[in-house]
Chains A and B, each alone.
Chain A
Amino acid sequence: MTQSLEPRIAAYVAGRMPNATGVAVDSLSRISGGASRETYRFRLSWSEDGRLHERKMILRRDPPASLIDTERRIEFEAYRAFHGSSVPVPEMLWLEEGSGPLDHPFFIAEEIAGYQAGPALLWAEPYLGTHEALAERKWTILGEIAKADPVALGLDKVMEPIAPADCWKRELGYWENVLDEDEAEPLPIIRAAIRWLRANPPPPPARLSVVHGDYRTGNFLFDTEGGIHGILDWEMAHLGDPLEDLGWSLNPVWSFGRELAGGLVPEAQAIAIWERASGLRADPAALKWWTLFNCVKGQAIWISSARAFISGGNKEPIMVYPPWALQNAQDRATLKVMGRL
């Protein structure tokens, strides 16, 4: 239970704040969702320089078995690289890669409090009038990520290098392998999509970019004015083709049944915003390739979640929700992108 974590978190943080006394953790609660990491919020308090301090924090801890197997250091460094830039992210504070302090690796970050992330809120007041502004911010920020220089950010030192011509092969190969290992039943639509992707490869990207890997409605903190205050969930970040992120944001499962990109605006509008912000052109054929690829990737993620539950590695209900809620939707999305539905 979460209560027993409080003193252990406090002890860990106290060891990293040598000038602080009376370090305490309270109000620890788990945030729903988070099938790849357990996410908690808590309040940290301490005394320093004769004053009492308080700060709201987030703990992201690896679960016993994850929906997505990723290196938490890459996620941590991606957040850290963009902190203070035009891409809003929370400040990263401590990364622990050992299992001693809290049983599993974790990191601690500031909480950007007072905003929402849940997509379902967007389809009701007071958010209905914010969709245009939110879309403008959403795809502008994605364009900023595409435009950022990975070398200048220092991310070439932590992310696996890749030649531009190999981006699609590496990504497709990785997720096809996940499907091979984890599928609980044959997937004829996804296998047909993979054959098409291999037969129709995209051109190399004009430039290598940081790819967020999960940039979608639901992974940013928004306000009631269409503002975005934090881009979250960088756990699949890597170097690659910037169209990969744009294609993920256009995956029809993220339209939430609204037939709009991200549930917000027509697809052409989202692409135009991204092109303006990134300074790049989204070649339609290449973008179709990356959108379809992201249907395969999405299905691989939902399938691997089911596998983690079936194999007993993680019996949390959150592991069942993605395959039950999204597997059929992802097949439908794949058919749509392939022009079959």
Chain B
Amino acid sequence: MKPDVPMVLVEMAGLVARNAAPDVPAADRASALGLTAALMGFAAQAWDGAAHNLVQENRAIRALLGLQGSDEDLRLSVLSQENARLRQALIDRHAEVEGKDPAMEAAIWAELVASTERRMVAGSPA
């Protein structure tokens, strides 16, 4: 999820602290805290599976494209950086094979569908 969860949580922490002040108008406080609560719900959903999903996706793309790499550093920032590199490679390969290599094209679409399922957020509107 972008923006990254830690960046958002830091900002939300400051927002909650500011809204603890007694002179914040009730409507402003309700608006700020209602949205913050919703975002915390999303962050909670993402927390447990984030590293697992990135590693899964990185492995799947490497296997699909025949690329080298590893996910030994499990910090989300590092996994995300590798994921971005691999997803860009996937875009380039997809554009290359369109209309030329139906089997590879189908395999890429299958991974894109799987990736979307992996990243699905509960309550998704589509």
Residues of A within 8 A of B (CB): 1-3, 29-32, 184-189, 191-192, 195, 252-257, 303, 306, 309-310, 315, 317-318, 320-321, 323-333, 335-336, 340-341
Contacts and interface: CB of A to CB of B under 8 A. Distances in A.
Given A321-B35, A321-B39, A323-B3, A341 B113 contact: yes
Q: For B2, B25, B113, B115, which residue has the most chain A Cβ atoms within 10 angstroms?
A: B2
Contacts of A3: 25
A185 B80 contact: yes
B24 to A, nearest CB: 7
A185 B81 CA distance: 9
A253 B121 CA distance: 13
B12 A328 contact: no
A317 B32 contact: yes
A29 to B, nearest CB: 4
A320 B39 contact: yes
Given A188-B91, A189-B116, A325-B42, A310 B2 contact: yes
Contacts of A30: 27-28, 31
Contact of A335 (B3, B7, B30, B112): B112
A57 to B, nearest CB: 15
A340 B42 contact: no
Contacts of B119: 328, 331
Nearest to B45: A324
Nearest to B118: A328
Interface residues of B, number: 45
Contacts of B15: 317
A266 B116 CA distance: 25
Interface of B: 1-3, 7-8, 11-12, 15, 23-25, 27-28, 30-32, 34-36, 38-39, 42, 80, 83-84, 87-88, 90-91, 94-95, 98, 108-109, 112-113, 115-116, 119-121, 123-126
Given A191-B91, A195-B95, A328-B119, A32 B31 contact: yes
A260 to B, nearest CB: 12
Given A186-B87, A306-B3, A335-B113, A257 B27 contact: no
A30 B91 CA distance: 42
3 closest Cβ contacts across the A-B interface?
Answer: A29-B27, A184-B2, A186-B87
B39 A328 contact: no
A164 to B, nearest CB: 29
A310 B116 contact: no
